[in-house]
Amino acid sequence: MEDELARVRASAEPIPARDDIARLREEFEADAARERTALVQDLEVLLEVMEAGWRRTHAELERLGAEVSQLREVVSDASDALAGAKFEVRLRGEGDERNGHATRWERWSAGERPSQRHARQQGRPTP
C-alpha cells in the first residue's frame, strides 16, 4: 500500500505555487473578458443586420402601399369610365360579308340569344 501511495504521489502534478494560481486567475479573467467582448461584437453585428433588414422591409412595405393606392385609383377611374358602356362583339370569318353569311354575334337584347336573332332575321321560327 505504501508503494502504491508513493506511485500516486509521484504521478500527481505538483501543487502550483501561489504566484502560479494568481497568474492562472488573471489568464482566466482575461480570457473571459475577450469572450464577452467577442460576444458583444457578434451581437452588435446581428443587430445591425436585423436593423438594416427592418429598414428595407419598412421601405418596401411603404412602396407597395403606394403602388396599391395607385392601382386602386386606376381601377376606380376605369370602373367609372366603363359604368355606362355597352359592348358589341362581332365575329366575322373570311368571306362572310361577301357570301351574306350571318356569323356575327351582336349584343343580346331582351334576353334573345344570337342564334334566335339570326333565325328570326332569316324568317325561321325561333326555339
Q: What is the mean pLDDT of each run of 10 residues along the chain (127 residues)?
A: 81 72 87 93 93 88 93 89 71 53 44 66 69
Same domain, 79 and 94: no
Same domain, 42 and 57: yes
What pLDDT was estimated at residue 127? 55
Same domain, 65 and 122: no
For the entire predicted model, the pTM comes to 0.37
Same domain, 64 and 25: yes
Of the residues 70, 85, 100, the one at which a domain ends: 85
Name residues whose C-beta falls within 8 Å of residue 120's C-beta, 6 or more positions apart in sequence: 112, 126
Same domain, 75 and 96: no
Same domain, 70 and 35: yes
Same domain, 78 and 110: no
**What is the distance in angstroms between the CA of the first residue and the CA of the last residue of the chain?**
122
- The domain tally of the chain equals 2
Same domain, 56 and 14: yes
Instruction: Please state, in angstroms and rounded to a whole number, the distance separating the CA atoms of residues 87 and 64.
Output: 34
Same domain, 94 and 48: no
Check if the beta carbon of residue 102 is closer than 8 Å to that of residue 122: yes
What pLDDT was estimated at residue 66? 93
Domain residues for the domain of 33 are 1-85
What pLDDT was estimated at residue 109? 42
Same domain, 56 and 30: yes
